[in-house]
Structure 1
């Protein structure tokens, strides 16, 4: 069994309040969860209006599948016009870990 995690550090567009931030982050989290059947949550920068850290985790029997799913998640996040992807940090854990 393989476990993959990714942290997306994001800069949000024209967001001036935590309420506006939620209106951007919630649909993104829901879309990732629905499309890719991954665990996902806002994991950091919660007190900042224009920044957020989204954590994604996926478990599969095949390491290549885990990488493919994380690649697709990153493409979805990077493709959002209202979001700038500042960084993506990944970890992959396999049977030996």
Structure 2
């Protein structure tokens, strides 16, 4: 079993309230979950209007499949015109990790 995680540090566009922020972040999280069957959530900067951190995790028995899903998720977020992807942190955990 292998687990892959991504953490996105995101700058939001023209957002002036937490309500507007939610209207941008929720559809991104929902699309990641729907398209790629990943576990995803807003995991940081919840009280800052123009920044957010989205985290996701994928479990797979195959490392190639895991890398493919993580690559697709990263491309999806990076392609969203309403956000600027500042950084991405990627981690892999395998059967032999303690």
> TM-score per shorter chain, which class?
over 0.9
In structure 1, list runs of 5 or more residues that go unmatched.
none
Counterpart for residue 11 of structure 1 = 11
- The equivalences for 1:31-46 within 5 A come to 31-46=31-46
Figure out how many residues of one structure are paired with residues of the other and give that number.
Answer: 97
Structure 2: gaps (5+ residues): none
Q: Which residue of the partner structure matches residue 92 of structure 2?
A: 92
What RMSD in Å do the two structures reach over aligned CA positions? Answer: 0.4
* C-alpha distance in 2 between matches for 1:33 and 1:63: 19
Aligned to 2:50: 50
| Deviation string, structure 1 residues 42-69 (Cα, Å, up to 9, x no partner) | 0000110000000010000011111110
Task: Give the TM-score, by structure 1 length.
Answer: 0.99
Q: 1:93 and 1:63 mapped to 2: Cα distance? A: 10
